[in-house]
Amino acid sequence: MLAAEIAGQSFFQESDAAALDDDRYLRFVDAEFAFAYDALFDSGDGLFYRYARFIEQRTPSGAKVFWSRGNGWVYAGLALFLDSLPQEYPTRSFYVALLNK
């Protein structure tokens, strides 16, 4: 799954969690986002690859191949997700730190 898809799904699932007063959806989002983050995030550049197959690819000039539009979706999704994520949620600081990179 794409990191952008995870971020895009997160607000719908978080809204469901609030409506149900149930954190199953937040736990699901955490697990899915962590999987995408671990697999696709380049900490040196602070960007996500589109798919794992792009990690080793380089442009003719040797630059890494990131997905600009997808990274925009991830970071926009994080901002929206944080608006509705409870302040005391255990992994909130991870999302805040990622957004502030």
State the 10-residue block means of pLDDT for the chain, 101 residues long.
Answer: 52 53 80 92 93 94 92 89 87 94 81
Return the SS3 of 15. helix
Nearest to 38 by CA among 73, 88, 3: 3
Query: How far apart (Å, rounded) are the C-alpha atoms in residues 48 and 9?
Result: 16
Q: Is residue 101 part of a domain?
A: no
Domain ranges, residue 76: 3-94
In this predicted model, what pLDDT tens digit does every residue of 6-18 receive, in sequence order?
555 555 455 555 5
Q: Is residue 10 part of a domain?
A: yes
Query: How far apart (Å, rounded) are the C-alpha atoms in residues 26 and 61?
Result: 41
Q: Is residue 30 part of a domain?
A: yes
Q: Is residue 24 part of a domain?
A: yes
Q: Is residue 60 part of a domain?
A: yes
Residue linked to tokens 């799904």: 9
Total tally of structural domains belonging to the chain: 1
Q: Is residue 100 part of a domain?
A: no
Q: Is residue 57 part of a domain?
A: yes
Overall pTM surpassing 0.85 (yes/no): no
